[in-house]
Amino acid sequence: MYYVKKRLEISASHALRLSYESKCENLHGHNWIITVFCRAAELNPDGMVTDFSHIKKAITERLDHQNLNEVLPFNPTAENIARWVCDNIQNCYRVEVQESEGNIAAYEK
């Protein structure tokens, strides 16, 4: 099995829709750190699991410098973002999303 890991940082804002009162319901921003884990039993014809630049492009083109409430069709929690990234990257099996120091959510298939 082959593995690759890509770590990148984006800047984006969001406002959470919650069932309780929280300051996170107000629009605010983070410098998100997203770590993508991919694997494949065999390499593609180019000798890769997944091209690092394709991972970066898929995330940054959609999310970087955006209001996540406007570009994602769900409540943009770190957990939901992790699943969305995992579902949209070829060969991805795990994603970690850090929205601030010490606050990390992960999704794994």
State pTM to two decimals: 0.95
DSSP H helical ranges for the chain:
52-63, 68-71, 78-88
For residue 5, the model assigns a pLDDT of 98
Q: Where are the domains of the chain?
A: 2-108
Centre a 10 Å sphere on the Cβ of residue 3 and count the other Cβ atoms it contains.
11
Q: Is 74 strand, coil or helix?
A: coil
CATH 1.10.275.10 is right for the domain spanning 2-108? no
For residue 65, the model assigns a pLDDT of 98
Q: Tens of pLDDT along 29-83?
A: 999 999 999 999 999 999 999 999 999 999 999 999 999 999 999 999 999 999 9
